[in-house]
Amino acid sequence: MQPNYQTMTQTGDLAQVRNKVLKNTYTLLSMTLLFSALAAGISIAINPPHFTSLVTSISALLLMWFVLPKTANSGAGVLVVFAVTGLLGFGLGPLLNAYLHTANGSQIIMTSLGGTGIIFLALSAYALATRRDFSFMGGMLMVGMIVVVIAALANIFLEMPALSLTISAVVILLMSGFILYDTSRIVNGGETNYIMATIGLYLSIYNIFVSLLQLLGVFGGDD
């Protein structure tokens, strides 16, 4: 029986491409997380006004929607990813400063940071170890995101604390789903662009951190 060398080579090539995407994604992700933390540190030191978060968030969204898709296949895409993560990190400054001025604020921030890291590492390890295809979740996750955005939009004017907490809890679950979805897409060859993969995972980590911070801030705050 003749072994199918062509198929074996193609399978080997595919595995090589997936491993390369995975390696590049995690390298870029760790670099952007460090850069984002540095930007947040600078922002804490400068203590910019609260509307900074709005300006940096809108700038980051515009970069992600209009610039990143055009540059994702070139080296410039890496710079855009750093710009987006730097802006989002800098925008965290006023929020972190508000927590740091409470009695156990630093404990809440460190717990949120550690908790986010553990959730991300555990879910990534699960998706990598099982190699299961979670692409069936794509539509469900997007519908969940839309529901969350509508609820958040309504809560800007309703200002209901219970709804705010519910949104944070749902965001943590949704972003956990996105980590499984994005990682399985890399593992199963659905995502071959490490720049897009990095930004997806970064946003999941960022949103889990902010939501966890809010949950722990409410339940663990002294006020």
Partner 1 sequence: MKIGWALALAGMLVFLLPRARHMLKNSPKADKGDWMALLLPLILVVGFVVLLILAVS
When asked if residue 119 is in the footprint of partner 1 (CB under 8 A), the reply is yes
Among residues 5, 129, 157, 223, which is the contact residue for partner 1, using CB under 8 A? Answer: 157
Q: Among 208, 220, 218, 119, which residue's Cα sits nearest to residue 170?
A: 208
Q: How far apart are CA 180 and CA 186, in angstroms?
A: 10
Can you read off the two tokens belonging to residue 141? 């996750």
**In this structure, is the dihedral angle defined by the CA atoms of residues 172, 174, 179 and 184, taken in order, positive or negative?**
positive
Residues 6+ apart with CB under 8 A from 25: 186, 194, 197, 198, 201
When asked if residue 149 is in the footprint of partner 1 (CB under 8 A), the reply is yes
Number of residues that bind partner 1 (CB under 8 A): 50
* Beta carbon of residue 2, minimum distance to partner 1 (angstroms, whole number): 32
Looking only at residues 56 through 95 of this chain, which bind partner 1 when binding is defined by CB under 8 A? Answer: 57-58, 61, 65
Among residues 34, 54, 79, 158, which is the contact residue for partner 1, using CB under 8 A? Answer: 54
When asked if residue 134 is in the footprint of partner 1 (CB under 8 A), the reply is yes
| 113 contacts 89 by C-beta, under 8 angstroms | no
Residues 6+ apart with CB under 8 A from 186: 18, 21, 22, 25, 197
Which residue's CB is nearer to partner 1, number 133 or number 163? Answer: 133
When asked if residue 136 is in the footprint of partner 1 (CB under 8 A), the reply is yes
Which residue's CB is nearer to partner 1, number 31 or number 137? Answer: 137
Among residues 14, 98, 142, 160, which is the contact residue for partner 1, using CB under 8 A? Answer: 142
122 residue type, one letter: A
Q: How far apart are CA 201 and CA 119, in angstroms?
A: 12
When asked if residue 121 is in the footprint of partner 1 (CB under 8 A), the reply is no
Among residues 17, 106, 173, 189, which is the contact residue for partner 1, using CB under 8 A? Answer: 173
When asked if residue 192 is in the footprint of partner 1 (CB under 8 A), the reply is no
Q: What are the residues binding partner 1 (CB under 8 A)? A: 50-51, 54, 57-58, 61, 65, 104, 107-108, 111-112, 115, 118-119, 122-123, 126, 130, 132-143, 145-146, 149-150, 152-153, 156-157, 169, 172-173, 176-177, 180, 212, 215-216, 219-220
